[in-house]
Amino acid sequence: MYRKLLTSLMLGSLVGLTGCQSLPKPEALTPEQTARGELTSASQLNYKDGSRYALYSVSLQEDQAFKAEISGNLEATLSVFNDCQDLLISGGSPLYFRSEEAGNYQLAVNGLSDASYGPYTLKLTEVEISNRTHLSGEESLTGWLGQDNLTTYTLSIEEAGVYEMAVSSSSFDTILEVRGPGGHFQDDDSGNSTNSRLSRPLEPGEYHLAVSGYDEGSTGLFELIINKLEVDLSSQESLEIPGTLNGWLPSGGTQTYQVSIDEAGIYQFNLTSLDFDTVLEVRSNTYFMQDDDGGDDTNSRLGDHLQAGEYVVAVSAYGDASGSFTLNAERLNIEVDNVSELTAPAEVNAWMGADPDVYTLTIEEAGQYLLEMRSSMLDSVLRVEGPNGVSQENDDGGSQRNSRMQVYLDAGEYTLTARSYDSSSGAYQLLVQPQ
């Protein structure tokens, strides 16, 4: 049995030909056990590529699974063989394996190349695999994708709502498929990395849920999580300030909400979604502002100084995507100076909206002046133009992303233009000081 295993690890039956190596008995390991070892020039030789390896024997019951992890200075891969010396799985750490039948299995620690030597720690951890095939609306389980590359479940939904179904695996590129009342849905990589994620409104009934791998022959451990989201599917028409709502956007659709602004001030709207690239609009009869990716990642954020009145907030997607979203509205505790004419020295607290802010600056006495635009929310850009050909702009002359420049200015009127580098909105401070 052991000689056959070396035939798998080596190229041909060279051990029998050379007769220069004795074969030690593999060290026995059980799940929940740790072994320490070292690959050296005296370790068993893989004649195929010149690397070294060490073998361990693991006794498993039917359907028993473990996770093998290797740590230390050694660059290595892990392989599992059955008692017929067939290679069952191979890969990096961590490696997951599930036995289809009871027996003794060989776990090999393989040097990555002929130059891979060093100490290592091998840790085995038993993994509990769920054998359930019937699921309800709220679930979290660890499953196994077998050699047939398909694991199926029956999902029973008792209460209508929006449900999120996510499959993740470090062993394979996941595909999640759901069939039932209302249609057929499939996803490959909407989760993190190569993981799958679907969120859909589901009516009561039975659904067929299938987990598979993108590549033929995929196998390994996966995590399946099903949650009912707190999403309002009713025809809600208004959004309070401050307020937050969770909604659903149909494919190619737009959701609109009425917002009442009772007092002029700085208001901010945030739209986030894990399902689609958000687009957010705020409009009235005399006002319009739109944003695509002003928030984190592909989420939207709009902030501006709004007058009292009635507004419409519109939620849509970039493209024809659908999915759940969260919309938040709040008034920011920021006081601004509603001025456009300045006389040096000057200090202004302001809010940057969609367009640059333009000021008229009066200099009464010629001299050196320090011009600054500071903000923790913007990448500030400041420009001064005026008599005698003065035209100067600064982006990051100050600390962080702030603007700062020293300019000699004659007496007269100048134009100061404040803007953000990426057209984003936010609070800022403008300073003009003689030196």
pLDDT single digits (tens) 231-273: 887 777 899 999 999 999 988 899 999 999 999 888 999 999 9
Quote the pLDDT of residue 7. 39
Average pLDDT, the chain: 89
| Tens-place pLDDT, residues 143-163 | 999 889 999 999 999 999 999
Q: State the pLDDT confidence band at 316, using cuts at 50, 70 and 90.
A: very high
Give the residue among 276, 192, 270, 199 at the shortest CA–CA distance from 231. Answer: 199
pLDDT at 8: 42
Beta bridge partners of 398: none
- Six-digit token string for 106: 């060989």
Q: Could you read off the pLDDT of 178-237 as tens digits, one per residue?
A: 999 988 999 998 888 899 999 999 999 999 999 999 998 888 899 999 999 988 877 778
Structural domains of the chain sorted by starting position, each given as residue range(s) with its CATH number in brackets: 2-127 (2.60.120.380), 134-228 (2.60.120.380), 243-331 (2.60.120.380), 341-434 (2.60.120.380)
Residue, of 199 and 338, whose pLDDT is higher:
199
**% the chain with pLDDT above 70:** 94
Q: Which pLDDT does position 352 carry in this prediction? A: 85
Cis peptide before 201 (omega within 30 of 0): no
Between 326 and 319, where is the model more confident?
A: 326
For residue 186, the cross-strand partners are 177
**Three-class DSSP category at 6:** helix
Q: What is the pLDDT of residue 24?
A: 61
Position 170: which residue type? S
pTM: 0.64
- Under 8 Å CB-to-CB from 255, ≥6 apart: which residues? 247, 248, 249, 314, 315, 316
